Amino acid sequence: MTFDPRWHEAWTRLPDYLGNHVQVSLTALAIGLAVSLPLALMARRRPVMRNTLLAFASIVQTVPGLALLALFYPLLLALAQLSLQWFGFEFSAFGFLPAVLALALYSVLPVLRNTLIGLQGIDPAIVEAADGVGMTPGQKLRMVELPLALPVIMAGIRTAAVWVIGTATLSTPIGQTSLGNYIFAGLQTQNWVFVLFGCAAAALLAIAVDQLLALIESGMTRQRRWRVILGGLGLVALAAATLMPAMMRGKTSIVVGAKTFTEQYVLASLLTQRLDAAGLSASTRAGLGSNVIFEALASDDIDAYVDYSGTLWLNQLKQTTTPPRGQLLAELKKILADKYRITLFGTLGFENAYALAMPRQQADALGIRSIADLATHSGQMSIAGDYEFFSRPEWAALQKTYGLHFREQRQMQADFMYPAVASGEVDVIAGYTSDGLIAKYDLAVLDDNKHAIPPYDAVILLSPGRADDDRLKAALAPLKESINIATMREANLRASGNNATSSPQAVARWLWDQIKRP
Amino acid sequence: MSTPAITFDHVTKDFGNVRAVDGVSLQIAEGEFLAIVGGSGSGKTTLLRMANRLIDPDAGTIAIHGENTQAADPITLRRRIGYVFQSAALFPHMSVAQNIGITPRLLDRPAAQIAGRVDELMDMVQLDPAQYRDRRPIELSGGQRQRVGLARALAANPKIVLMDEPFGALDPITRDALGTDYKSLHEKLGLTTVMITHDMAEALLLADRVAVMQPGKIVAQGNAAELERSEDNYVRDLLRTPRRQAAQLQSLLSGTSS
């Protein structure tokens, strides 16, 4: 057996992912400590403040990590706009900043609670003795209370560190590179090597930081200075290591974004490879949320990505009518340019539409060919869609147009829908027309005769800052109208495999070979 | 008569609805060893703590060497007065030497001077410096801990030492030894000592004068002979117990009773 090249690929990305992960975690932890320690000291003799703070921190803790991170993005975006209006400067609400702030907030509870409990738990006789020997309140805190509460406080800090390092893997969708990139990409492209690698790296990092903090703690309680110094040096070394990727990467001028599904990973790799081939340094920022990626492009945080006309039309521009394909594209191009200064550079040549699909055998048995046929059976059937489908306008339009009412709706990871419908776990899925798995599982795509679902031409979008970048445009120009639906399906099928040639980069190279072939 | 070391003048302290100390006036002369005896809740600890402003009175004044404590900085005041806590209350995260040297350290004395002083004090309270200097309080017996507590109180050369049931938690032999040792230190160093205890025998054996407190007030004071003449029932009860025990012991030990 030969060595699986995916391990090597995972390994080469480690400096970048790990460095960013450490950077965002340690910064968040430092901010979290800088806020919660003084707050705990202020609140410890003020019951109302203490209870309010603990209640607030507990509520924050109940918000799922992913949601908390996702909430910070629009919040900061709004703040950035206000700051531009009022103070004339703008900051990036993408990536590092929202991730750090959300994670810092996440670290507050354990530190706050343990500091309060630690200080409360000191024998009152010892505190009195500190007064009795003539300590000022500051000396009492520094020489007696903090040292005695230290084990409990450090336990809180260590808990916070482990939480923050674990939760930081979820900052990938808001644009912060982290070890989560392995996990998100691996999950999407069924690259279990990546998923495993990401989990193991995050766990090892958490253990390492926890042990360094333990070393510092034992040094402080046993008054062994070298332990404190060694632990501190370890943390500094970790922090210094985070500067490495920035230096090694050099200056990447162009960032290509990708959403969270297989096709996006492949297309982003294709764009990146074309830009690199043209001598422009480019990198991929993958796994971005659907709304995050558009805002990121509009505010120049990323430079280019591939989106779909119908998605933009309904979700970003909130249009209610659906004009014919050509007209929609033309109007989309105009609105994007006028309203967002985004360039619709060109179409790739295929459509990736939502489509309702079911096993061919069953469709034939029931005589279902179109969505209208499906409507009469839908009351006894269950349907599965990806995480956004049921909250998208397309679903509302389908329900309204055809009078669809399913017995059950289920959300699942896109790649799991196909095996689910093939095995009868669900009856119908909202799949994607460009997905190779439709053919692989022999599914029938039901006709949308009433055109409830708009066209979904894949389009390359460029950020306002790249509107006049001729080198970039020249590098991407060969991709216009270059991929037909059959080729894209084949590419997606290859990328959904779980083997050495199924990495997005490998599939993107294959795709380019197809494009070059006349 | 010279200025008293400590003067309580109509001192009152309330905790919520409870009057812990009720208009107490008391003078402690320089060089005197006063014991305050009373049951729990009699206000004796509150009275003691008002002397170095661990607690501030609601009414009345307290003077140290004639100076009103309310006008003094409480931190400076506490560094000038030694305080021995019940069950020592040593700082558990510090070594014996660090515990003893804490007040000199707070006063920014040079480290070498503090180290010398710590050795001197450990000799004084009969702990071998070489053996015990670097130990943690948890590694000491109860009696040794209280010796350290005593040394800590004496470290900054105070003229006045306040002691809150210092020997209460010790076994009788250790207690007796430590009491006697302290008494000789009190005399050798010319200290003024106020000791709280609930044990009348200990008070009578160690102190020059005993004040008896019953909820909030001093009901009697004087030496053994003077207390003997007190009409107060509580004082008579307090005196009866040790005397009866002494007599019983005497007869048991001489074998006349069986």
B205 compared with A190, residue with greater pLDDT: B205
Mutate to test the interface with B, among A122, A133, A150, A218 (most CBs of B within 10 A): A133
- Quote the minimal CA–CA distance from B76 to chain A in Å: 7
The more confidently predicted of residues B153 and A301 is B153
| Residues in chain B whose Cβ is within 8 Å of chain A | 52, 54, 75-76, 78-79, 83, 85-87, 89-93, 102-103, 106-107, 152, 156
Residues A444-487: tens digit of each pLDDT = 889 888 888 888 899 999 999 898 889 989 999 999 999 988 89
- Shared-domain flag, residues A63 and A116: yes
Look up the CATH number of the domain holding residue A89. Answer: 1.10.3720.10
What percent of chain A lies above the pLDDT cut of 90? 33
Name the phi and psi angles at A241, rounded to 5.
-60, -25
CATH of the domain at A397: 3.40.190.120
Work out how many domains chain A is built from and give that number.
3
Whether residues A273 and A396 share a domain: the answer is no
Q: What is the pLDDT of residue B198?
A: 86
Give one DSSP letter per residue of A218-246, joined into a string.
HHHHTT-HHHHHHHHHHHHHHHHHTHHHH
Judge whether residue A518 has pLDDT over 80.
no
Q: What is the pLDDT of residue A247?
A: 58
With CA atoms as reference, report the closest residue to A503 among A198, A235, A225, A268: A268
Q: Decide if B83 and A135 are in contact by the 8 Å CB cutoff.
A: no
Phi, psi for residue A292 in degrees, rounded to 5 = -60, -45
| Dist. CA A469–CA A85, nearest whole Å | 28
Residue type, A348: L
Distance from CA of B51 to the nearest CA of A (A): 11
Residues A207 and A162 in one domain: yes
Instruction: Write down the pLDDT at residue A250.
Output: 53
Confidence check: pLDDT of B185 > 60: yes
Q: Is residue A140 part of a domain?
A: yes
The least confident of A114-118, A174-178, B209-213 is A174-178
Question: Is a pLDDT exceeding 50 seen at residue A202?
Answer: yes
pLDDT on residue A252 = 61
Where is A458: in which H helix or E strand? Answer: strand A457-462
3-state secondary structure of A468: coil
- Residue A487 sits in a domain whose CATH number is 3.40.190.10
Instruction: Quote the tokens at residue A16.
Output: 């970048």
Kindly state whether residue A69 falls inside one of the protein's structural domains. Answer: yes
Q: Are residues A193 and A66 in the same domain?
A: yes
Predicted TM-score (pTM) of this structure: 0.74
Asked which of A202, A218, A248 is the last residue of a domain, the reply is: A248
Measured CA to CA, the distance from residue B104 to residue A434 in angstroms comes to 81
Q: What is the pLDDT of residue A90?
A: 67
Residue A158 lies in a domain: yes
The per-residue pLDDT for A1 is 43
* Mean predicted lDDT score pLDDT of chain A: 86
pLDDT value of residue A126? 94
Specify the DSSP class assigned to residue A338: I
Closest approach of chain B CAs to the CA of A218, in angstroms? 12
Q: Are residues A273 and A346 in the same domain?
A: yes
Estimate the share of chain B in helix, then strand, then coil, as percent rounded to the nearest 5: 45, 25, 30
CB count within 10 Å of CB A365 equals 9
User: To the nearest whole percent, how much of chain B has pLDDT over 90?
Assistant: 61
Q: Are residues A29 and A108 in the same domain?
A: yes
Report yes or no for ipTM above 0.95: no
Q: Are residues A94 and A147 in the same domain?
A: yes
Which tokens in the block code for residue A11?
Answer: 């390994």
* Number of domains observed in the structure of chain B: 1
Q: Dihedral of the CA atoms A56, A58, A64, A66 (nearest 10)? A: 60
Structure tokens, A419: 């095996």
- Tell me the pLDDT band of A246, cut-offs 50, 70 and 90: low
> Mutating which of B53, B73, B80, B83 best tests the A interface, going by the most A Cβ atoms within 10 A?
B83
Q: What is the 3-state secondary structure (H, E, C) of B182-219?
A: HHHHHHHHCCEEEEEECCHHHHHHHCCEEEEEECCEEE
Grouping H, G, I as helix, E, B as strand and the rest as coil, residue B12 is: strand
Q: Are strands B6-15 and B18-28 parallel, antiparallel or unpaired?
A: antiparallel
More confident residue, B34 or A88: B34
pLDDT tens digits for B94-135?
Answer: 999 999 999 999 999 999 999 999 999 998 888 999 999 999
pLDDT attached to residue B36: 94
CB atoms closer than 10 angstroms to residue B68: 12
- Is residue A285 within 8 A of residue A258, CB to CB? The reply is yes
Domain shared by A46 and A132, yes or no: yes
Q: How far, rounded to the nearest angstrom, does the alpha carbon of residue A324 sit from its chain's CA centroid?
A: 33
User: What are the pLDDT digits (tens) for A485-503?
Assistant: 889 988 988 887 767 677 8
Under 8 Å between Cβ of A261 and A435: no
What digits encode the pLDDT tens for the residues A359-401? 999 899 988 989 999 888 888 899 998 887 888 888 888 888 8
Q: One-letter amino acid identity for B185? A: L
Whether B1 maps to a domain, the answer reads: no
Task: Give the least confident one: A500-504, B51-55, B178-182.
Answer: A500-504
Strand order in the sheet with A382-385: A408-411, A382-385, A428-432, A354-359, A443-445
> Is residue A329 included in any domain, yes or no?
yes
Last residue within a domain, chosen from A217, A248, A279: A248
Which residue is associated with the tokens 């006008």? B71
- A205 shares a domain with A262: no
B99: CATH: 3.40.50.300
Tell me if A133 and B52 make a contact (CB, 8 A cut-off).
Answer: no
Q: Is the pLDDT of residue A248 over 60?
A: no
Residues A249-288: pLDDT tens digits? Answer: 555 678 999 988 888 999 999 999 999 998 888 888 888 8
Residue A234 lies in a domain: yes
Residue B113 domain-assigned? Answer: yes
Among the candidates A248, A279, A310, a domain finishes at A248
**In this complex, which of B75, B78, B89 lies closest to A125 when CB atoms are compared?**
B89
User: SS in 3 state form for A410-432?
Assistant: EECCHHHHHHHHHCCCCCEEEEE
Q: How many other CB atoms are there within 10 angstroms of residue B230's CB atom? A: 17
Chain A residues whose CB is inside 8 A of the B152 CB are 133
Which one, of A399, A401, A384, lies nearest residue A451 by Cα? A401
Q: Is the separation of the CB atoms in B37 and B232 below 8 Å?
A: no
pLDDT for B1? 55
- Give the tens place of pLDDT for each residue, B236-250: 888 888 888 888 888
**Residue A241: predicted pLDDT:** 74
Answer yes or no: is pLDDT of A5 > 90.
no
Alpha carbon distance A3, B90 (integer Å): 63
The verdict on residue A201 lying in a domain is yes
Query: CB within 8 A of B196, min separation 6: which ones?
Result: B35, B36, B44, B45, B48, B163, B164, B165
Query: Residue A437 pLDDT more than 70?
Result: yes
Nearest CA to B182 out of B223, B132, B147 is that of B147
Asked whether the beta carbons of B81 and B133 are under 8 A apart, the reply is no
Asked if the structure places residue B189 within a domain, the reply is yes
As separate numbers, helices (DSSP H) first and strands (DSSP E) second, chain A gives: 23, 10
For residues A41 and A121, state if they share a domain: yes
Min Cα separation A135/chain B (Å): 7
pLDDT of residue A164: 93
Host domain of residue B69: 6-254
Domain interval for residue A25: 14-248
Estimate the crossing angle of helix B111-124 against helix B142-154, to 10 degrees.
130
User: What's the mean pLDDT in B216-227?
Assistant: 88
Query: Is B197 within 8 Å of B37 (Cβ atoms)?
Result: yes
The C-alpha of B164 sits at a distance from chain A's nearest C-alpha, in angstroms, of 11
Query: Taking phi first (over 0 means left), then psi (-120 to 50 degrees means alpha), and beta for anything else, what does residue B213 get?
Result: beta
Sorting pLDDT into bands at 50, 70 and 90, what band is B258? very low
Same domain, A149 and A132: yes
Q: How many other β-carbons are positioned within 10 Å of the β-carbon of residue B10?
A: 12
Q: Poorest-confidence range of A204-208, A413-417, B159-163, B198-202?
A: A413-417
Does residue A128 sit in the same domain as residue A267? no
Q: Do residue B106 and residue A221 have CB atoms under 8 angstroms apart? A: no
> Nearest Cβ partner of A133 from B86, B93, B103?
B103
The pLDDT value given to residue A3: 61
The answer to whether residue A122 is domain-embedded is yes
Which residue from A123, A126, A131 is facing B78, i.e. has the nearest CB? A131
Residue A289: what pLDDT? 79
Q: How far is B188 from chain A (nearest CA, A)?
A: 22
| Amino acid letter, residue A385 | G
Which of B53, B90, B91, B136 should be substituted to probe chain A, the one whose Cβ sees the most A Cβ atoms within 10 Å? B91
**A85-99, A139-153, B173-187, B204-218: which range is least confident on average?**
A85-99
The CA-atom distances, in angstroms, between A483 and each of A85, A263, A305 are 43, 12, 16
Sequence-separated contacts (24+) of A335-341 with Cβ below 8 Å: A336/A312, A336/A461, A340/A298, A340/A464, A341/A298, A341/A464, A341/A467
Q: What's the pLDDT at A299?
A: 84
**Residues contacting A7, CB < 8 A, separation 6+:** A193, A197
Compare CB distances from A133 to B86, B92, B106 and report the shortest one's residue: B106
Q: Which two tokens stand for residue B101?
A: 């040297």
Residue A436 in any domain: the answer is: yes
In order, the DSSP letters of A164-221 are HHHHGGGGGGGT--STHHHHHHHHHTT-HHHHHHHHHHHHHHHHHHHHHHHHHHHHHH
Exposure string of A105-121, with b = 16+ CB inside 10 Å and e = fewer, is bbbbbbbbbbbbbbbee
